[in-house]
Structure 1
Amino acid sequence: MIKGLIFDKDGTLFDFNATWGAWAGRMIAGETAGNPAKTTALANAMGYDMENQRFRPASVVIAATVEETASAMLTVLTDETHDTLIPRMNAAASAVEQVQAVPLIPFFDDLRARGLALGIATNDAEAPALANLTSAGVHDHFHFIAGYDSGHGAKPGTGQLDAFCRETGLAPHHCAMIGDSTHDLQAGRAAGMTTIGVLTGPAPSAELAPLADVVLPDIGHIPAWLDARS
């Protein structure tokens, strides 16, 4: 029986390309001062398709931490350092308008009414994650929120998921990890949780299916999936 649900953030609660696609194009152009060759190089380093304003399925940005994304960017932005670039990235991420995969307040109201413990495990930094959840009006729905810098490590490691279980007192086999990337599902499997893939990120079903107990179009299908199991 599922008693706890732990969610990835970007690509899971928020549609990945709808949220970050056009914004990333503007950010890349700004970081390169519009220099065409440098813009192309930075877009390629980040796995971003400037023409279609979408991240490619293999983009480092999809599942990486902010530090890993910054490292990729610094191969082009050689005058910058992690210390100068990451604060700017976090500030921009905190302010970006998030496109919800489904209306989140009624969705999480329903899950809380079912008595489920809810958590967030993101490879984003904790501060922008909290800002995004607060802006969406769902911060208070969660029993546990962790970013890669919250002291539990990052996915595909299990530290965030293990901490969720400690915080809620739930055994891993009573929990499900929900995400749009293989990092999310690898972490869930390694932690001993049920794994649910969703298709609101760049990864296709065929990529997620080998690691998922079920692949759903979006998180809005989870209540029906839970009902079918009861």
Structure 2
Amino acid sequence: MSADLRLILFDVDGTLVDSQAHIVASMTRSFEAMDLAAPSREETLSIVGLSLPVAVAQLAPALSATDQAAVVEGYKQAYMQIRAEQGSAQSSPFYPHARKVLQELAAVDHYLLGIATGKSRRGLDALLAGHGLEKMFLTQQVADHHPSKPHPAMIETALAEMGVAPDQAVMIGDTVFDMEMARAAGVSAIAVEWGYHDTARLAPLADHVISDFRALPQAIAQIWESDK
């Protein structure tokens, strides 16, 4: 495989799509179904990116393992119900310019696009199908098969699948978990300002921070230009 191939990995929630209303509503329903006080919006968004069982454990550490598992299952059911009611394009719309930039990057011969997300396989499949992007991402790493972020397993598996070295890859995300995962895997990291973690927390961990999706191609080019 050509040494010139480059792997561009994306987080999903908070990076590609704005699913915060969907996530917060699902978490609220799952807690209220068990007569528990629901976490605040800020608390829920703080755990976006983690695998669901880890996220619930952080939100409700005093709950028994059995009750945490019930909240997890309740969240999954609520998430699917809301998606069925609204559709993916409505419940998890793309951020401005995201789709166009993805298409531009995918058109570059030596760029390979992939996903590293805390979503489940079922959740990611439904999202991509809802947006008609099933074939856009050549490697798709999900929570079902890996430890939760910031463990580097998702990125390491994507690198192995694509035959790309760490210095030929970049991770784009909106959370500290994404940035720490990238660092642990030895790949570059680009943080986005429009997601769910404060920019002040992201900036020290990122090679670049962007405030507009249209700035992404140039940020990627700068990373790889600096490696020459």
* Pairwise TM-score range, normalised by the shorter structure: 0.7 to 0.9
Match of 1:52 in 2: none
Match of 2:180 in 1: 186
Give the Cα–Cα distance (whole angstroms) in 2 for the partners of residues 118 and 98 of structure 1.
Answer: 20
Of 118, 141, 157, the residue aligned with 1:123 is: 118
TM-score (norm 2): 0.79
Number of equivalenced pairs: 212
Output aligned runs, 1:135-174, within 5 Å: 135-150=130-145, 152-174=146-168
How big is the shift at 1:62?
2.1
Structure 1 pair 162–70 and aligned structure 2 pair: CA distance change class (3 A):
same
Match of 2:7 in 1: 4
Match of 1:102 in 2: 96
Give the Cα–Cα distance (whole angstroms) in 1 for the partners of residues 219 and 189 of structure 2.
Answer: 12
Of 72, 88, 97, the residue aligned with 1:86 is: 72
Output aligned runs, 1:41-56, within 5 Å: 42-43=38-39, 48-49=40-41, 55-56=42-43
Give the Cα–Cα distance (whole angstroms) in 1 for the partners of residues 169 and 218 of structure 2.
Answer: 17
Structure 1 pair 149–176 and aligned structure 2 pair: CA distance change class (3 A):
same
TM-score (norm 1): 0.78
Quick check: 1:114 aligned with 2:114?
no
Give the Cα–Cα distance (whole angstroms) in 2 for the partners of residues 156 and 34 of structure 1.
Answer: 29
Give the Cα–Cα distance (whole angstroms) in 1 for the partners of residues 181 and 139 of structure 2.
Answer: 16
Of 189, 207, 221, the residue aligned with 1:213 is: 207
Does the Cα contact within 8 Å between 1:125 and 1:149 map onto a contact in 2?
A: yes
Structure 1 pair 6–23 and aligned structure 2 pair: CA distance change class (3 A):
closer
Quick check: 1:69 aligned with 2:55?
yes
Give the Cα–Cα distance (whole angstroms) in 2 for the partners of residues 8 and 189 of structure 1.
Answer: 15
1:137 is matched by which residue type in structure 2?
A: G
Map Cα deviations across residues 8-64 of structure 1 (whole Å, 9 max, x no partner): 11110112xxx22366247525742697xx43xx22xxxx24xxxxx25x8553232
Does the Cα contact within 8 Å between 1:2 and 1:176 map onto a contact in 2?
A: no
Unaligned regions of 5+ residues in structure 1, if any?
A: 50-54
Does the Cα contact within 8 Å between 1:198 and 1:216 map onto a contact in 2?
A: yes
Unaligned regions of 5+ residues in structure 2, if any?
A: none
Map Cα deviations across residues 49-107 of structure 1 (whole Å, 9 max, x no partner): 4xxxxx25x85532321102333565587796354433332243342610211344432
How big is the shift at 1:224?
2.9
Does the Cα contact within 8 Å between 1:185 and 1:211 map onto a contact in 2?
A: yes
